[in-house]
Amino acid sequence: MHKPAASLLATLAAAALAAGASAAEPDWGKVAARKVTVFYPGVSPMEWILKGTEHGGARGMRKGEACTGCHEDETADMGKRIVSGQKLEPAPIKGKAAAIPVSVQAAHDGANLYLRFSWKQPAASGAAKQDADNQVKLAFMLEENRIEGVPTGGCWAACHADARTMPGAKDDKKTKYVVGGSLGGKYFDLLQWKAKGKPSDGYVADRRVADGGKALVSASGRLAGDTWTVTFTRKLSGGEGDVALAPGKSYNFGFAIHDDWSNGRFHHVSLGYTLGIDAKADITAAKQ
Ligand code: HEC
């Protein structure tokens, strides 16, 4: 007579254990959201950024000012000037979004980092699909203050004029890279979710490597109504090309959305931000 009750209890205990051991997303309703407006950057590689004759911010950058210090509140207007072809875009795509406001949330549970991005799907341009498989992709990069220029310039440190899809680029295999980059220290951790394809966990050092990382647990995304929500679960620890994350520390963080079936440089990007693990930063992942 006691037997069924005991085995039921055992089953419940086992289920509770299993749930505790596996990654469970936090209660997002309790996590503050930081608004970050990603914008269309056109052709604005690091070489353009630092060339004093072309970019008004070059001098300030050399003095250590960050992109966000000058531009954080105007990325939507920058995107408009660029996407229209008024500036920095030799091949404008009609109807492409200038900028996308994104809500970013982060939390951790001592074992995993959880990141959540949500945004309203902009109108489609109707242009030819560059990536016929994926309507949308979202990538983020992490870096631990080892690459020169990243605390101020974010992902731009990996964005160069000779990368594929840049006008006049000669090598269509050349992706983003870090000058002097190596897995020994100067690299960005790079994770990407794709609407259709498998998510990837790689890095950017002297070249971009799409896979091989050990930190990504899962990435998923869905469109509900007109709103996309993309969530990553990533171990705090990691392997080769993964930035190991520790409570009390903060890391350089940036992300990009490939909207409207786009590829390569035709993405919307964030300026450089910081992500803190239980540490004060632009975006803080607090323990839940
Ligand atoms: C010290 C302030 C300052 C900093 C720091 C700075 N910029 Fe600028 N940026 C400017 C000014 C001023 C302009 C407008 C005039 C021009 O084009 O030179 C500008 C223009 C631009 C433009 C062209 C679009 C537009 O609206 O004119 C882009 C793109 C841009 N900056 C990106 C960046 C990025 C990315 C960084 C960091 C890697 C950065 N800037 C850092 C001051 C700055």
C-alpha dihedral (125, 128, 134, 139), degrees to nearest 10:
-70
Q: How confident is the model at residue 16 (pLDDT cuts 50, 70, 90)?
A: very low
Closest residue by Cα to residue 64 from 148, 186, 156: 148
State the closest ligand 1 atom to the C-alpha of 59, by its place in the atom list counted from 1.
1
Looking at residue 31, its amino acid is: V
Residue 5 has a pLDDT of 53
User: Percent of the chain, pLDDT > 70?
Assistant: 92
Q: What is the mean pLDDT of the chain?
A: 92
CA 253 to chain centre: 7
To 10 degrees, the CA torsion angle through 124, 139, 251, 166?
Answer: -80
Mean pLDDT of the 232-255 span: 96
Tell which residue, 59, 38, 63, has the closest CA to residue 50.
59
Work out the burial of residue 122: count CB atoms within 10 Å of its CB; fewer than 13 is exposed, 13-18 middle, 19 or more buried. Answer: middle
Ligand 1 midpoint to CA 71 (Å) = 7
Kindly state the tokens that stand for 72.
């954080």
Q: Whose CA is nearest to atom 26 of ligand 1?
A: 78
Q: How far apart are the first and last CA of the chain?
A: 40
Q: CA-CA distance, 200 to 258, in Å (whole number)?
A: 14
Position 24 scores a pLDDT of 86
Mean pLDDT of 242-249: 97
pLDDT at 41: 98
Query: pLDDT value at position 10?
Result: 52
- 85 in contact with ligand 1, CB cutoff 6 A: no
pLDDT in tens, 52-103: 889 999 999 999 999 999 999 999 999 999 999 999 999 999 999 999 999 9
